[in-house]
Amino acid sequence: MLSKKQARMLFIVSTGLFAIVFLALTYDSMQQIPARTNAHNLSASAIRGHEIWNDNNCMGCHTVLGEGAYYAPELTRVYERRGEKWMKMFLKNPEAMYPGQRKMVQYNFTDGQIDDLISFFKWIGEMDLNGFPAKPTIKMSSAQNNGAVSANSPQVFKDVCVACHSVNGSGGNVGPALDHVGSKFDAAYLNKWISDPQAVKPGTAMPQLNVSDADRALVVEFLSGLK
């Protein structure tokens, strides 16, 4: 049984000891921040993107680095999940990508603002966060998937379509694999589907991509050959 004097001394020593440990760990964490956040890659564009993020209160719906709301998707690794091309298309017109479904506000961002936001998300996505959040199952960046999907797949397919679909085991898994899609549907059907998915199947999760006629023709030709 400790006396009052001993108990007081134990409390003082323990508090002091744990305070020292806490300060030491805090100092160590602060020393690691520049390397873990890749501070040397924080460009002027990424800084502007962060300002756009704050000015438009994006955290009112989204979460980044564990902070924000959970109404809309978590975006810490969105660059890895979706990639630059897909993000540009979505930020340009969210409603056009998912007619009648998306509730994201149309901010009418300029091309420069979109580039700045993507720079911000790219910088965030490259941070060393000790495994947070869980590694996404969908990978979508040209650097990762160019050539991995198929040697003759058009660039628009590598940049956009593999965010959800896979070919030869490479790509996303949100939508169905497309390895034999050419044996199931003819070119006319595929063209109509890519042009306006909601017209073919109302309520489908397939977004309205709004790709150019030339890009759509390339994708249709490529998919028609997957038999």
pLDDT, one tens digit per residue, over 69-90 is: 989 989 999 998 888 988 998 9
Residue-by-residue DSSP string for 137-164: S----HHHHTTTS-TT--HHHHHTGGGT
What's the token pair of residue 114? 């979109």
Other Cβ atoms within 10 Å of 68 Cβ, number: 19
Question: pTM for this one?
Answer: 0.70
* 8 Å CB contact between 161 and 86: no
Q: How far lies 49's CA from each of 8, 57, 64, in Å?
A: 53, 12, 13
Mean pLDDT of 59-75: 92
Percent of the chain with pLDDT over 70: 92
- Residue ranges of alpha helices (H) inside 65-186 are 78-82, 84-92, 94-97, 111-125, 142-145, 155-159
Cis? peptide before 133, omega within 30° of 0: yes
pLDDT, one tens digit per residue, over 161-175 is: 888 888 888 887 778
pLDDT for 146 beyond 50 = no
